[in-house]
């Protein structure tokens, strides 16, 4: 399956980016590029340390979401990936992207609960007995695409936001690479 190519989109520290690179790059697939919308994203150094090309497309330099998404789409298409993986990419995408690329997103809640950027805190503070993650197809609806995989855990008495977040990250680091491989094998 090494002939399969992915592009990873990220906005922050890049823990999922690094996990995918370490587990899958040049083993199961090729990470042909990483693209970020933030020039100060911590994941930039992580990708470059593994010789992954990094493109920085600063969303603040574009007049609106569609203009940014057109630039992003052009860059993604230049790599001709089989799949685009959103790994902590904190942008609401327009149909310019959602209708023109095959992409999945990892989200830190059991969708359809707790959509959006505050999902971890909202899930932690909720009365729900479980927390978890979802991997879903990217669609026109924010965190609303078809769910591909989910995994959960029981909240524990005395749980802190930090310990809850660590459990979320551990699930992401396990399930996201597995799901990427499953999808690429099915293509």
Number of DSSP helices (H) and strands (E) in the chain, helices first: 6, 7
182 vs 187: CA distance, rounded Å: 9
With 0-12 / 13-18 / 19 or more C-beta atoms within 10 angstroms meaning exposed / middle / buried, residue 148 is middle
95 vs 84: CA distance, rounded Å: 15
Place of tokens 């799949």: 83
C-beta of residue 106 within 8 angstroms of C-beta of residue 128: no
Place of tokens 């524990």: 156
Is 25 annotated as catalytic?
Answer: no
Q: Which of 59, 107, 136, 173 is catalytic?
A: 107
175 vs 163: CA distance, rounded Å: 18
Cα dihedral sign for 176, 5, 35, 85?
A: negative
Supply 17's token pair.
């980016």
184 vs 26: CA distance, rounded Å: 14
Q: Which of the residues are catalytic?
A: 107
């Amino acid at each position: 399956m090494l002939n399969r190519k992915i592009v990873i989109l990220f906005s922050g520290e890049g823990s999922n980016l690094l996990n995918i690179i370490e587990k899958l790059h040049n083993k199961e697939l090729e990470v042909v590029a990483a693209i970020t919308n933030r020039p100060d994203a911590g994941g930039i150094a992580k990708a470059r340390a593994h010789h992954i090309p990094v493109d920085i497309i600063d969303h603040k330099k574009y007049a609106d979401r569609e203009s940014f998404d057109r630039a992003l789409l052009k860059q993604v298409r230049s790599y001709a990936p089989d799949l685009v993986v959103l790994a902590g990419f904190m942008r609401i995408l327009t149909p310019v992207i959602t209708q023109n690329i095959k992409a999945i997103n990892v989200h830190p809640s059991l969708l359809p609960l707790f959509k959006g950027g505050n999902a971890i805190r909202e899930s932690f503070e909720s009365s729900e007995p479980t927390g978890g993650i979802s991997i879903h197809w990217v669609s026109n609806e924010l965190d609303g695409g078809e769910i591909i995989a989910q995994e959960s855990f029981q909240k524990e008495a005395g749980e802190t936001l930090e310990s809850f977040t660590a459990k979320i990250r551990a699930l992401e680091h396990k399930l996201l690479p597995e799901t990427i491989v499953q999808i690429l094998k099915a293509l």
